[in-house]
Amino acid sequence: MHRDDEDPNAGKAHIPVMRIRLWLETPKGLYFGLGRAQLLKKVGEHGSLKKAAEDLGMSYRAAWGKIKKTEEILGVQLIEQVGCKRDGYRLTEIGRAYMEDFLSWFEEVEQTALERARMKLPWPVRGYMC
């Protein structure tokens, strides 16, 4: 048996990953982007900004700053504290909607770009989120 037949992911290490940087900004700064959406998704999964930040390899302070800056620019609250400080955070209804809408849009853009890359480029390409 060939080595690649043993591990279905063995060949993927040599296939380049297409990365897309996609965000919205205003003169005041980042309006919303993939990093913010991923941070909100992790807050929703963990119920904790601290755990979300750790999962994404950033400090709590950096995560807090990103959320607060984005809330300021958007003019809406994205996360809210649950009970006392130890109980963590949850996404607000609008925070969840913005996260889901952005991730859906990102996946559509990535899928379209991936299809075009596979048509135009002479080598295989795989998606980052796909």
Q: pLDDT for 55-112, tens place per residue?
A: 999 999 999 999 999 999 999 999 999 877 666 999 999 999 999 999 999 999 999 9
Residue 106 lies in a domain: yes
Domain membership of residue 99 (yes or no) is yes
The whole-number pLDDT of residue 42 equals 98
Residue 91 inside a domain? The answer is yes
Specify the number of domains making up the chain.
1
Q: Per the domain annotation, does 72 fall within a domain?
A: yes
Domain that holds residue 87: 31-121
pLDDT at 47: 95
Q: What is the model's pLDDT at position 6?
A: 54
pLDDT bracket for residue 128 (50, 70, 90): confident
Q: Where are the beta strands (DSSP E) in 11-87?
A: 17-18, 23-26, 29-33, 79-81
What CATH number did the domain enclosing 47 receive? 1.10.10.10
Q: Measure the CA–CA gap between 8 and 95, rounded to whole angstroms.
A: 37
- Asked, for residue 7, whether it belongs to a domain, the answer is no
What count of other Cβ atoms lies within 10 Å of the Cβ of residue 101? 12
Amino acid 28: pLDDT: 85
Asked if 47 and 41 count as a contact pair (C-beta separation under 8 A), the reply is: no
Q: How many CA atoms lie within 13 A of 114 on its CB side?
A: 18
pLDDT exceeds 90 at position 117:
yes
pLDDT in tens, 2-41: 444 554 555 566 899 999 999 999 998 889 999 999 999 9
Query: What pLDDT is recorded for position 57?
Result: 97
Q: Residue 4: its pLDDT value, please? A: 46
Answer whether residue 77 is part of any domain: yes
